[in-house]
Amino acid sequence: MANSAASAPLLSEEDKVVLDGYGGGKGNSEGALCSFWVAVWKELALLWYIAGPAVLTSLFQYSLSSVTQTLVGHVGTVELAAVGIQNLVVSGIGFGVMLGMGSALETLCGQAFGAGELNMLGIYMQRSWLILLSTAAVLTIPHVFATPLLRFLGQSEEIASLAGKFSIWMIPKLFALAVNFPIQKFLQAQSKVIAMAWISAAVLVMHLFLSWLCILKLGMGLVGAAITLNLAWWILVAGLFAYVVSGRCKDSWTGFSWLAFTELTGFLGLSLASAVMLCLEYWIPMVIIVLAGLLRDPEIAVDAASISMNVEGWSFMIPLGLLAAIR
C-alpha cells in the first residue's frame, strides 16, 4: 500500500498536458493560449447571461423615479427641485438603508442555494421582509418631518415646504421598497433574472404612460406624480410576488412559515452591517444636493444637481447589475 502510494504520480495526464502546453514549444503555447481565450469567452457569456438582465432590471427600476422627475420638470422649477431633493435626500436616506439591509440576503441565500437548502431561501426572504418593513416604519419619521428637516439643513422655504408635502405622499413607496428588495435578492440567488427584467420593463412602460397622463395631460402636478410613482412600485412588487408564488420557485417558496420569526437577531445584525457599508457611499449624492440648495439660486442649483445625479445614477446601475451576477 505504502509503495503504491509513493509511486503514484502527483499530476494526472491531463495536468501534464496543460503544463506542457505552457512550458513547451510554440505550437503547444499557441494551443494553450487559444484554450485560455475560449475559457474566457465562455465565462463572459455565462456572466452576461445573468448580468445582462440584472443590469436591465436595475436600469428599469431606477428609471421609475427618473421618469417622474423628468415630467415634473415640465411643471415648474420649484416642483422639479422639490422632487429632486425629496428623491435624493429624504427618500435617499431610506433607499440606502433598505438596499444595504436587503444585501444581507445575498449572502444567506447564496449559501443556502449552494448547499442545496432551497427551502431556506423563502424563509430568509420572509425574515428580510419582517426586518425591512419594521425599518420602513421607522423611516417614515424623516418623511413626515421632512419640511423642518430641510429647513434645518438650510434649504429655501419654498423648496422645503413642497418637498415636505411630496415626502409624505411618497410613504407608500417606502414600504414597497421593503418588499421589493428581498424578492430581488431571492430571485437573483436562483439566477431567475430574466423574469425580473421583463416585469420591470412592463412596469416602466406603464409608468411612463400614466405619468404623462396624470402629470401633464390631466394637470395633476405633484399629486399625479406621487400617485403614479407609488402605483408603479406596488405593481412591480405585485408582479414579482406573483411570479414567486406561481410555481416557478416551488422548491424555494413553500408558503409563509412561522420559522421566519426565529433567529431574527442574527439576521438583523448582518443586515445592519451591510447597511452601514452601503450607506457610506450611497449618501454622497445626498450631501451634494443639500450643498446645492445653499447656493445663490437654490431652485436652479438643485434642479441642475439632481439631473446630474440622475444621469450618474443610471451609470451606477451597470456595475450594480454586474455585482448581482458574481455574488
Phi-psi domain of 130 (left: phi exceeds 0; alpha: psi -120 through 50; beta: other): alpha
Ramachandran assignment for 25, one of left (phi > 0), alpha (psi -120 to 50 degrees), beta (any other): beta
Other CB atoms closer than 10 Å to residue 45's CB: what's the count?
9
pLDDT given at position 199:
96
Cell numbers standing for residue 250: 416551488
pLDDT under 70 in the chain at which residues?
Answer: 1-33, 324-327
Q: Letter for the amino acid at 228?
A: T
Q: How far is CA 276 from CA 74, 146, 202, in A?
A: 37, 22, 33
In contact, 150 and 159? CB cutoff 8 Å: yes
Q: Give dist(CA 227, CA 147) in Å, integer.
A: 20
| pLDDT the model gives residue 31 | 64
pTM score of the predicted model: 0.83
**Rounded CA gap, 291 and 287, in Å?**
6
